[in-house]
Chains A and B, each alone.
Chain A
Amino acid sequence: MPLTRQQIAMLMQLVAETTSDELDCSGCLDHLAEFAETHLAGQPLSDALEEVRTHLKNCHCCEHEFQSFLEALKGMSDDSQ
């Protein structure tokens, strides 16, 4: 099966956003708690957290997990008030 138009666009997006010093998935997920708190507080990102942001942009799996994580944090704080 040839690539669909959408798959080609996804691949090009991935290629375009490639940088040389990216975190891998484990490195990204290990920093997710710190990243989420900083993100939710609207604070500036450190260099290490900036790498997490880049990884999330490039990795659908981790970005998807991050969105679930944000939901879970909302659930946790909603009910505890």
Chain B
Amino acid sequence: MSATVAVGRARHVNVWSVIARTFLYSFLICLGVVVIYPLIWMALSGFKDNAQIFGDPFALPVHWAWNNYVQAWNQGVRGYVTVSVLVTVASAICTVLISAWTAFGLTRTKMPAKPLVVAIVLGGLMLSPTVAIIPLVKMLQALGLYNTYWALIILYTAFRVPFTTFLIRAYMLDLPGDLDEAATMDGASEGQIFWRITLPLCRPIIISCVILHVLFAWNEYLFAMIFTSGSDVQTLPVGLTSIMATHGTNYAVVFAAMTISALPIVIVFFAAQRYFIRGLSEGIGK
């Protein structure tokens, strides 16, 4: 009799786990559709004309009008992409190197008052960018950096260093310290230990940090809007709004421009996804 009960219970569990799994999968699929479909819709709409966009918004385009993309590219998007790439790459390199060096100091050296320094650096996480805008405008104007790439590169770096340091520091804390000691015995200086031992070993978290920074810098709007005004120094998010202003009625071109601006980030993310997940989970997941 107990046997039948056991079998019954096993079937019971089985049914529930199947239901739970089905539920989970359908939930994830729905979530995926909600996230991905608008992107696909936007890319497809870039191939249509206004009539089709309004008349038949969910159909596939009748003619694949590549011309919209070419037009968008030539009418400003090219410039915005260049600026965005420049600002993103430069600030990513600065942020990651400064953060890694800071994290190295915070985890590897016999610095006095270390907890205080950690608190100050991480305290930067609390600082809201909007609060600091007015002094920053004044400062950058005084420095003659207003309306240049440098303004954005410096601001993006400054505002992302605390978070990036926090991630890299967590990762470095888990790296065995005797590697440093072995390198010291081998005659390496602190700088050599950083460049040749610690940094290479931090590659997973460095890659994650680069991706996170790229995502941030590529999409950042507030600073970009406030600190740049000339169209030759504007990044994509700001540039897209001015495209909307000028091509307000030609939605296909606007969609094409948006698709172009989203594309690089999607590619970067998929190319580095493997490292991204690994770096984050190794750094803070343990």
Q: Is chain B found bound to chain A in the same assembly?
A: no
A interface with B by C-beta (< 8 Å): none
Query: Which residues does B use to contact A, with CB under 8 Å?
Result: none
